Structure 1
Amino acid sequence: MRVAIYNNQTPESQRVTKLLKAEMTKAGLVFDQQAPNVVVTIGGDGTLLSAFHHYEALLDRIRFVGIHTGHLGFYTDWRNYEIDDLVDSLVNDSGQSVSYPLLDMHAIYSDGSIDHYTALNESTLRNITKTMVCNVYINNELFETFRGDGLCISTPTGSTAYNKSVGGAIMDPHSIGFQLAEMASLNNRVFRTLGSPIVFGANAKLLLRLKDENGHLMTCDREQVKIQHRPGERHLVEISYQVAKKQINFAQYRHNNFWHRVRDAFIGGAQNEI
C-alpha cells in the first residue's frame, strides 16, 4: 500500500501530518507522493479540492481519504483524533471504494482554441463589468436567453457548496448528473428565464453561448480564469458542460450517512418528530 499525504499549512494539520507519517511507518505503509494508491488529505474540503486537481491525471488509479482538522466537511470522513483507526483501515485495505461523478468542461474561444477542465464541485460563469447575457442550449437546442449576474453549474457532491448559497437544490451524491442554478437573474415583463434550478441527467449536454466579448470570469472549483478582451485578442465564446467520463474514488472504510451530514451542517440541533 502506497500512501500520499496532502495537507494545508495550519499548525493542527501539520501536527496531524507528522503523527500520521510516524504511524504509517510503524505499520509498514509506504509513503509515496508520486504514485500512491491512496491520497490522504488533511485539512478540510478546500484541501481535498486542491489534492483532487493535483492528482487529476491519476484519478483512475487512486482513491482519496479526508481527515478534517477544522470544521466538518462533506468530503472529509475522519477526525484528527482517529489516526490509529485510519492507519488500521489502510493496513487492512481491500480496495473498497465509493465513486462520485465529475463535471467535464470545454471553454471555446474566438480563435478556435479550446481549454478543458474537470470540476469536482462546480463551475461558475459571470460578467464582472456588467449584466451577463448568454444563450442557454440544452442538448443542442436553445432553451432560454439568460440575463443576470451569472450561472453556477455543479456536481451532485458540489450541490451543498456554492450551488446551495445561490438557491440550487441539494442532490443525492450517488445520482449521476449535474445542475444549473441562476445567480440574480433578471425576470420582468421584458426579460424572462426559468427562474429555478435545473437538474440534468447522465447524458445531458449544456452549452452557454455568450453575447458579449469582455469582462467574463469563469471558475473551475477554486481556479479563476479571468477573460478580458482587447482588440485582436481571443475572447470566450461558449462553454459546454456534461458529466465527465472519469469519476473521483474515495476509500470507503466505513459508512457515513450523507443526509445526516447535511442535517448537521445546515439544520443542527435536536430534530424531534411531531
Structure 2
Amino acid sequence: MKFAIRSRGDQSSNGLKMKMKNYLQEFDLIWDEEEPDIVITVGGDGTLLYAFHRYKHRLDKTAFVGIHTGHLGFYADWLPEEAEKLVIELAKTPYQIAEYPLLETIIRHIDGGKEVVYLALNESTVKTVDGSLVIDVEIKGERFETFRGDGLCISTPSGSTAYNKALGGAIIHPSLESIQIAEMASINNRVFRTIGSPLILPKHHTCMLKPKEATDLKITIDHKTIVHKDVKSIQCRVANEKIRFARFRPFPFWKRVRDSFVAETWES
C-alpha cells in the first residue's frame, strides 16, 4: 500500500510525521506523495482540508485518516499517543470506508468563457468585494428570493458544524446527501425580505445564484478565497464525488458534536 503524510508544520506534528513514516516503511508500506492509497494528516481539521484539496483529483483512489495534535477535530479522530497503534492498524488491518458528500460549485461568467468548477469539503461562501450582496436565489430552476445582505454560505453536512453553525445553520449528519444555504446578516424590512432561515436541499435539487448587477464577487472554497469578475451565475449542488475516510474503529458523529460543543468539563 502506498501512503503519504501531511503535517500541520509545527515541531510536534513534524516529529510525529517522520516517526510514522519510518515505522510504516519498516512494515514495507511505500511512501508516495503523488499517488497514495491513503493520506495521513497530522494536525487538525485545517490540515485535512489542505490534504483534501491536494488530492481532490483522485478521491476515488485515496482515503484519508487524521491524527489531531491540537483540539478535538471532526475529521481527525486519532490521538498522538495512538500513533503506533494506527501504524499497526494500517499495516495489518483492512479498513472500512466512510464516504462523506461534497459541494460542487460552478462559476459562469458574463463573457461566456470557460466555467470554473470547485469542490468543497466544508463550505463555499459568496460575498461582494464592496457593499452588500444582491443576488437572485433559484432552486430547481425557479426563482425563490432575492437575497440582500452580507453574503451566503453553502455548506456540506460535514461542514455544517463549521462556519454554517456560527451563522445559525442546522447540524446535519454526513450520511444525508445534501447542501445547506445559510444567510449572513440579511436585510429584512418593509421593502426587502428573505426567508430568514437556513435551507437544506437534497441531492437532486440544484441552487443557482445570479447577481442582480455585474460585480466582483469574493468566493471562498473552504480555506481558499478567489475573486471572480463579472459573474453570471454560481451553481451549487451535491457533488458526484465523495471524500473517503479510512475507519479502523467507530467514529460516531453525534459524539463528536457533543464533545466539541456541549460536553461538560469536570473539575477535580
TM-score normalized by structure 2?
Answer: 0.96
Q: Do the aligned residues in 2 keep the contact of 1:179 with 1:197 (CA within 8 Å)? A: yes
Q: Percent identity?
A: 45
What secondary structure sits across from 1:23 in the alignment? helix
Equivalent position amino acid for 1:221 in 2: D
C-alpha distance in structure 1 between counterparts of 2:259 and 2:75, whole Å: 14
Q: Distance in 1 between matches of 2:213 and 2:149?
A: 13
Match of 1:63 in 2: 63
92-101 or 186-195, larger mean C-alpha shift? 92-101
- Say whether residues 1:184 and 2:179 are aligned partners: no
Q: 2:242 aligns with which of 247, 254, 259?
A: 247
Aligned counterparts of 1:127 and 1:207: Cα–Cα separation in 2? 17
SS in 1 for 2:49: helix
Q: Using the TM superposition, give the Cα deviation of residue 215 of structure 1 relative to its aligned residue in structure 2, in angstroms.
A: 3.9
Residues 37 and 61 in structure 1, CA contact (< 8 A), matched pair in contact too: yes
* 1:85 is aligned to 2:95: no
Equivalent residues, number: 265
Show structure 1 runs of 5+ residues with no match.
230-234
- Report SS of the residue matched to 2:76: coil
**Preserved CA contact (<8 Å) 2:127 2:150:** yes
Q: CA deviation at 1:270?
A: 6.2
* 8 Å Cα contact 2:95/2:248 also seen in 1: no
Deviations 1:207-248 (A, max 9, x none): 000013224211111111123x5xxxxx11210011111100
Note if contact 1:130-1:215 (Cα within 8 Å) is conserved in structure 2.
no
* 1-structure distance, mates of 2:129, 2:62: 37
Measure the CA separation in 2 of the matches of 1:120 and 1:176.
13
- State the one-letter code of the partner of 1:239: I
SS at match of 2:88: helix
Deviation at 1:95, TM superposition (A): 4.4
Task: In structure 1, give the amino acid aligned to 2:239.
Answer: A
Tell me, yes or no, if structure 1 residue 259 matches structure 2 residue 254: yes
Helix, strand or coil at the partner of 2:12: helix
Aligned-residue offset at 1:252: 0.7
Alignment TM-score, normalising by the size of structure 1: 0.94
**1:99-138 equivalence runs, <5 A:** 99-113=99-113, 114-138=115-139
Residue in 2 aligned with 1:3?
A: 3
The alignment partner of 2:81 has SS state of coil
In structure 2, the residue matched to 1:197 is 198
**Offset at residue 18 of structure 1 (A):** 1.3
Which residue is 1:232 aligned to?
none
In structure 1, how many angstroms separate the alpha carbons of the residues matched to 2:167 and 2:144? 21
Q: C-alpha displacement at 1:48, in angstroms?
A: 0.5
Which residue number in structure 1 is paired with residue 154 of structure 2? 153
Task: State the distance in 1 between where 2:92 and 2:203 align.
Answer: 34
Distance (Å, rounded) in 1 between the aligned partners of 2:234 and 2:29:
43
CA contact (8 A) 1:135 1:142 kept: yes
Instruction: Give the Å deviation of 1:22.
Output: 1.8
Amino acid at match of 1:188: N
**Counterpart amino acid of residue 222 in structure 2:** D
Which residue, out of 260, 263, 268, partners 1:268? 263
RMSD: 1.3
Alignment gaps of 5+ in structure 2: none
